[in-house]
Amino acid sequence: MNLSIPSVQLNNGISMPALGLGVYAPEQQQEVGQAVEAALAVGYRLFDAAAIYGNEKEVGEALRQGGVSRNELFVTSKVWIDDMGFDATMRAFEKSLQDLSLDYMDLYLIHWPKDQHRKETWKALESLYDQGVVKSIGVSNYYQKHLEELFVYANVCPAINQIELSPFCYLPEELDFCKQNNIQLEGYAPVVRGQKKDHPVLVDLARKYGKSTYQILIRWVIEQGAVTIPKSIHPERMIENAEVFDFVLDTDDLARMAVLYDNTRVAWDPRDF
C-alpha cells in the first residue's frame, strides 16, 4: 500500500503534506509507536505531535524504526501553555527535539494563545527559525484577534495556524482572515472524534459519493483549503482517512454542510483566550 497524498506550499516556500497523522492518544499511549510505524508503511509522512501529548519519545522511536529518510518526513511539535516565555520555550523546544530524536523540527507551533508571554514565546520561535533548527513556525488556536496582536511584533509571518475545523466547528471569517494573510490553515479533529458519524446529512452524502462519513468530513476540511491530521491507531482507518483525494464535494453538498455549525468542539474555544 502506498497512498498518494498531495502537498501544499507554505508562505516560506516549504512543502508540507496535505494530510497527516495526529498522535494525541491519551488512552492508547502503548499503541502510538505501532500506529506511527503503520502510518509510515502505508504512506503517511506528516506527523502532528506535541509535548503535552506525552508520547514524543515513542513517536521519535517509531520514526527512526520506520526506515523513511528524514527529508521525506514532516514532523510538527508544539510548545505547551506551561512553557510560554522566551527561555522556557527554548528549553521546551530542545526537549521535544531530543525526545523525538531529531536534529531539526519541520514545524513548531505555539499550542494555545495563553494570555501571558505570547510575544516572548513568538520571539523564541523566530529565534529557533533563524537558527535553522525549525524549518517553519506557526501558531495553533489563534483567531483573528490573536493574529492581529502577533502581527504588531512579528518579524516572521506564521506559516501555519492549526485550529479545530469541521462543519460543526466552522467560523468562515476566521478561515478567511488566515487566507487573506497567506497563513496555511491546518484543521484538527476533522472527524470530531467520531461524534457525528451517524449525522443524517453525512450518511446521505456518504451514500451518494460511495464514501464513509469520516471521509466526507475529511474531504470537507480539505475543500476549505486546509491541511488536516485525523488521528487513528488503526491502519485500515488511516488508509480510509487518506483516500479523500479522488472525489470532490459539489457546490450543493457544500451548501448542505455549511449549515451544520453547532459549535461542537473537542477542545477549548479560542474565543475564551
Which residues of the chain form contacts with ligand NAP (CB under 6 A)?
A: 22-24, 48, 111, 140-141, 162, 188-194, 214, 229-234, 237, 240-241, 266-267
Name the residue with the smallest CB distance to ligand NAP: 22
**CB 166 within 8 Å of CB 191:** yes
Q: Supply 105's cell numbers.
A: 523540527
DSSP annotation of 104 reads: S
Q: CA nearest 128: which of 94, 151, 154, 157?
A: 94
Q: Which helix (H) or strand (E) holds 108?
A: strand 105-110
Kindly name the residue from 24, 44, 53, 214 that is annotated as catalytic: 53
Min separation Cβ 164 and ligand NAP, Å: 7
Q: How far is Cα 273 from Cα 256, in angstroms, rounded to an integer? A: 31
Distance, CA of 262 to CA of 94 (rounded, Å): 39
Largest CA distance in the chain: 53
188 counts as catalytic? no
Catalytic residues: 53
